[in-house]
């Protein structure tokens, strides 16, 4: 990962030499968090729930909670977590973060796959990442846009490709039951059109298969 980031930064500087001068003018200045709750209106809250919250619910439940728990428990069976724990963690994280002016955040199976793919094996990796992000937010807030220009969008694409390969490999390998494969294919297919509809379709099919309304005889 460090070699990849260094290559991306070198490429960005070669394409935009003036960026080096802008980096030289980066200065450290402390900026504390803001407290926007006093300016929040009921209209703002309603818009956030209807326009932002509800459309995101399926992705958050599927990718950020259920899939993250399954992936963690498969990769690190000695450090198992539960859906309930991660869901509560999401709630607390967003209640505190947004009250300090932050944007809503979530975990994600893809993010975990990316961390693992590039070498992270313990929670210490996230502590390091969190410290870097916290330092940047508190002392380099005015220079974030310049720092981001060091990393071309194509660099993010490479990281996502490797994270996707790790996720696609699957912690269960080829040991899914055939019924689970049908649920996965249906969910992924419908989600290409609409994420919420894909989540709902997969959930309905899973319950139908569990109740025996529709039988799939072959196990593998």
Q: How many domains does the chain have?
A: 3
Q: Please indicate, yes or no, whether residues 184 and 164 belong to a single structural domain of this protein.
A: no
The answer to whether residue 76 sits within a structural domain is yes
Q: Please indicate, yes or no, whether residues 60 and 81 belong to a single structural domain of this protein.
A: yes
pLDDT in tens, 138-182: 999 888 889 989 888 888 888 887 777 777 666 455 455 667 777
Extract the runs of DSSP E, i.e. beta strands, from 51-204.
none
| Alpha helix (H) residue ranges in 118-177 | 124-139, 144-148, 153-169
Q: Please indicate, yes or no, whether residues 148 and 185 belong to a single structural domain of this protein.
A: no
Residue 7 has a pLDDT of: 92
Position 214 confidence tier, pLDDT thresholds 50, 70, 90: low
The answer to whether residue 113 sits within a structural domain is no
Computed over every residue of the chain, the mean pLDDT equals 83
Q: Is the pLDDT of residue 213 over 70?
A: no
Residue 135 has a pLDDT of: 93
Mean pLDDT of 3-27: 90
Residue 65 has a pLDDT of: 92
The two tokens of residue 42 are: 């009921």
Alpha carbon distance 79, 124 (integer Å): 14
Residue 171 has a pLDDT of: 47
The answer to whether residue 52 sits within a structural domain is yes
Cα dihedral 58/63/67/72 (nearest 10): -140
CB atoms within 10 A of CB 41: 8
Q: Please indicate, yes or no, whether residues 77 and 183 belong to a single structural domain of this protein.
A: no
Residue 86 has a pLDDT of: 93
Domain that holds residue 213: 176-220
Residue 177 has a pLDDT of: 66
pLDDT in tens, 97-145: 888 878 888 888 888 888 888 888 888 988 999 999 999 989 998 888 8
Q: What is the pTM of this model?
A: 0.67
């Amino acid at each position: 990962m460090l070699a990849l980031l260094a290559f991306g930064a070198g490429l960005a500087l070669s394409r935009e030499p003036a960026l080096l001068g802008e980096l030289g003018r980066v200065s450290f200045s402390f900026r504390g968090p803001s407290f926007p709750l006093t300016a929040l209106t009921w209209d703002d809250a309603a818009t956030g729930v209807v326009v932002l919250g509800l459309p995101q619910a399926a992705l958050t439940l599927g990718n950020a909670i259920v899939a993250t728990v399954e992936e963690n428990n498969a990769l690190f069976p000695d450090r198992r977590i539960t859906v309930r724990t991660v869901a509560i963690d999401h709630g607390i994280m967003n209640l505190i973060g947004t009250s300090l002016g932050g944007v809503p955040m979530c975990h994600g199976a893809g993010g975990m796959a990316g961390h693992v793919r590039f070498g992270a094996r313990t929670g210490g990796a996230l502590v390091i990442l969190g410290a870097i992000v916290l330092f940047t937010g508190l002392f380099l807030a005015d220079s974030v846009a310049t720092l981001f220009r060091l990393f071309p969008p194509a660099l993010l694409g490479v990281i996502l490709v490797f994270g996707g390969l790790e996720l696609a490999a699957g912690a269960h390998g080829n040991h899914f039951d055939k019924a689970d494969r049908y649920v996965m294919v249906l969910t992924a297919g419908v989600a290409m059109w609409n994420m919420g509809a894909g989540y709902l379709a997969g959930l309905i099919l899973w319950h139908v298969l569990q109740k025996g309304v529709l039988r799939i005889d072959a196990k593998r």
